[in-house]
C-alpha cells in the first residue's frame, strides 16, 4: 500500500517536471519565433510577476494553457500554431494598448 502511494506520488512529480520542461522549451521556441529578447518586459503581461525573464513569463502563460495543450495532444494535434497565433495577438494588443 505504501509502495503504491509512493509510486503514484513519484509518478505525478515526474509528470509535473516533464510538463514544466515542455513549457520551458515551447516558451524558448516562441520567444525565438517572435524575436523576443532577454529582459522582463513580458512578465507583467504574461506572467504572475514572480518570473525572472520573458521566457519564464511565456512558460507561465503556457502553463495557464496547459489543459488546452493536453487536449490537443490527446487528439494528436500540434497546439503550437494556435498558441503562436494567440501569443501574437496578445503581443499586438499590448503594443497597441488594447
- Cα distance between residue 11 and residue 67, in whole Å: 19
Choice between 44 and 7, residue whose per-residue pLDDT is larger: 44
pLDDT band, residue 12 (cuts 50/70/90): confident
Rounded to two decimals, the pTM is 0.83
Q: Model confidence over 17-32: pLDDT tens digits?
A: 888 999 999 999 999 9
The DSSP code for 49 is S
Q: Report the C-alpha dihedral over residues 93, 38, 31, 63, rounded to 10 degrees.
A: -80
Q: Model confidence over 33-92: pLDDT tens digits?
A: 999 988 999 999 999 999 999 999 999 999 999 888 889 889 998 888 999 999 999 999
- Cα distance between residue 90 and residue 87, in whole Å: 5
Going from the C-alpha of 2 to that of each of 13, 16, 32, 98, the distances in angstroms are 16, 21, 45, 53
Residue with cell 507561465: 60
Amino acid at each position: 500500500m505504501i509502495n503504491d502511494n509512493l509510486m503514484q506520488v513519484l509518478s505525478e512529480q515526474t509528470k509535473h517536471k516533464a510538463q514544466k520542461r515542455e513549457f520551458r522549451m515551447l516558451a524558448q521556441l516562441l520567444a525565438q519565433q517572435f524575436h523576443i529578447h532577454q529582459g522582463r518586459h513580458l512578465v507583467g503581461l504574461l506572467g504572475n510577476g514572480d518570473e525572472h525573464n520573458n521566457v519564464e513569463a511565456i512558460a507561465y502563460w503556457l502553463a495557464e494553457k496547459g489543459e488546452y495543450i493536453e487536449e490537443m495532444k490527446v487528439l494528436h494535434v500540434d497546439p503550437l500554431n494556435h498558441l503562436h497565433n494567440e501569443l501574437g495577438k496578445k503581443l499586438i494588443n499590448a503594443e497597441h494598448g488594447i
